[in-house]
A and B are shown apart, each in its own frame.
Chain A
Amino acid sequence: MLLEYLPIAVLLILALLLAGIVIALGHMFGPRHPTERKSMPYESGMRPIGPGTRRMPVHFYLVAVLFILFDIEVMFFLPWAVIYKKLGVFGLVEMLIFIAILGVGYVYVWKMGALEWE
């Protein structure tokens, strides 16, 4: 059973090796003369204003939370889809109910303005 994943592990190790070689090539052959000016954060040639990592709008966080909710719902579709032909009409009705419940949440999120970007 786990044997099926071994070829993927081989590929992953080789891919890691490739990425390592690429990074190492740059380190070996590239010149390095850092100056204070050069190692400043790039801000179109101006002196950087304020810190580099700063507060982000909370909206991005909201999108992430919504994503987790809906992505879990999508995951529920997968096993349903595999055995759908055996379930037949029962499966379709079940999924309609599931989507109806999901839809209530979706409409709520929409009405509360979580999908708006102002």
Chain B
Amino acid sequence: MEYGLILEWIIKAVLMLLILLIGFAYTTYLERKVLARMQVRYGPNRAGPKGLLQPVADGVKLIFKEELIPAKADKLLFILAPVITVLPALTILAVVPFGGTVNLFGREITLSIAGDLNVGILYLTAVTSITVYGMVLAGWASNNKYAMMGGIRATAQVISYELALGLAFIGPILLASSMSVNEIVNAQGRMGWFFIYQPIGFIIFLIATLAEINRVPFDMPEAEQELVAGYHTEYSGMKFALFMMTEYIKMIVVAVLAATFFLGGYLGPFVDQVPWLGPVYLFIKVFILVFGIIWVRATWPRFRYDRLMAFGWKIMLPLAVLNVLLTGAFIILFPGVIR
């Protein structure tokens, strides 16, 4: 085993965590600012120039807050639940390539942590579902009936939309004939971005991921008007911050995944000549998608819970199966297009 390799892994992992943390901080800022502008307000503008230091101020404030643990709560699970929730969000992106291969300090470095993993998509689907455990444990350990209801609702919703999400992954796999995320991006370089071939799949992916990360209009588990704050009602201070971190990091994560599977990932003009452009292109695509998620929040009201579940099971699931069949038929009918 080479020490340089281990050092490279550690540096990449630290960089990934730093990027996600900074991304989390400034997604909260972006969301508050964009929502404010859409409602003709200013948004945060006191801490630092244009309010740019607001996320730092929020973080410092949360560190010095009192943390309450309800009297009859399960203490161990209560502390463990936010950790279980945040871990998958931090590790999902390990298999996603952020760019091609760059030459740095005389080493060939691929801009991903484990991009060539041949079961990349299996890893993605497996890791995303772990977050559910954190939610339901948080709800149960709080010993609060609203938290519990929020946790159970979150579980039912996330697993219902996971079916459609899992089927939406099938389209890109069919077109690229591989479960490796790297290979899927390369295939998009050969035959064009997959959202051209997968318009239904792309829309299903966007809707299902919105439900998966509990964002508006699918934020039923945290419906403020009826469930206080859902599964993290009893959480305060830094544990609350961990839940918020999960929510916003997952926003970034699903944007990265949508960009990677349907919008060509890090690909763009001249990316072959200048590999450093890769992360820039990916950042632009992710920024647009995250902005879209925030826009949706500013625009749409919340779904009613029964309609939400009916929509997931009666429309999304059959549509996703149909999309798989259509893609299969397309590949057989037009073998020349798929390379």
> How many Å from the CB of A100 to the closest CB on chain B?
11
B35 CB–A CB distance under 8 Å: no
Q: Mark B122-157, 1 if CB is under 8 A from A, else 0.
A: 110000000000000000101111111000100110
Question: Chain A residues near B305 (CB, 8 Å)?
Answer: 117
B208 CB–A CB distance under 8 Å: no
A84 to B170, CA, bound (A): 11
Take A78-B173, A117-B306 as given contacts and tell me if A12 and B87 are in contact as well, using a CB distance cutoff of 8 Å.
yes
A67 to B14, CA, bound (A): 36
Question: Chain B residues near A27 (CB, 8 Å)?
Answer: 67
> How many Å from the CB of B325 to the closest CB on chain A?
7
Q: Is B68 within 8 A of A39, CB to CB? A: yes
Take A43-B146, A110-B314, A117-B309 as given contacts and tell me if A38 and B162 are in contact as well, using a CB distance cutoff of 8 Å.
no
Please give me the residue from chain B that is nearest to A41 by CB atom: B144
Take A25-B238, A39-B71, A50-B145 as given contacts and tell me if A7 and B174 are in contact as well, using a CB distance cutoff of 8 Å.
no
A10 to B16, CA, bound (A): 11
Question: Chain B residues near A34 (CB, 8 Å)?
Answer: 68
Q: Is B70 within 8 A of A40, CB to CB? A: yes
Tally B residues with Cβ within 8 Å of A.
84
Please give me the residue from chain A that is nearest to B139 by CB atom: A53
> How many Å from the CB of B71 to the closest CB on chain A?
4
Of the candidates A31, A32, A60, A92, which one forms a contact with B152 in the assembled complex, judged by CB atoms under 8 Å apart?
Answer: A60
A108 to B107, CA, bound (A): 59
Of the candidates A11, A40, A66, which one forms a contact with B71 in the assembled complex, judged by CB atoms under 8 Å apart?
Answer: A40
B292 CB–A CB distance under 8 Å: no
A112 CB–B CB distance under 8 Å: no
Q: Is A30 within 8 A of B66, CB to CB? A: yes
Take A7-B13, A23-B83 as given contacts and tell me if A67 and B160 are in contact as well, using a CB distance cutoff of 8 Å.
yes
Take A52-B143, A52-B145 as given contacts and tell me if A5 and B117 are in contact as well, using a CB distance cutoff of 8 Å.
yes
Take A11-B113, A14-B17 as given contacts and tell me if A42 and B228 are in contact as well, using a CB distance cutoff of 8 Å.
yes
Q: Mark B264-284, 1 if CB is under 8 A from A, else 0.
A: 000000000000000000000
Q: Is A26 within 8 A of B67, CB to CB? A: yes
Take A6-B9, A23-B238, A26-B62 as given contacts and tell me if A81 and B160 are in contact as well, using a CB distance cutoff of 8 Å.
no
Of the candidates B16, B65, B82, B156, which one forms a contact with A11 in the assembled complex, judged by CB atoms under 8 Å apart?
Answer: B16
Interface residues, chain B, with chain A CB atoms under 8 Å away:
6, 9-10, 12-14, 16-17, 21, 62-72, 79, 82-83, 86-87, 90-91, 94-95, 113-114, 116-117, 121-123, 140, 142-148, 152, 155-156, 159-160, 162-163, 166-167, 170, 173-174, 177-179, 228, 233-234, 237-239, 241-242, 245, 305-306, 309-310, 313-314, 317-318, 321, 324-325, 328-329, 331-332, 338
Interface residues, chain A, with chain B CB atoms under 8 Å away:
4-8, 10-12, 14-16, 18-20, 22-23, 25-27, 29-34, 36, 38-44, 48, 50-54, 56, 60, 63-64, 66-67, 70-71, 74-75, 77-78, 81-85, 88-89, 91-92, 95-96, 99, 102, 106, 110, 115-118
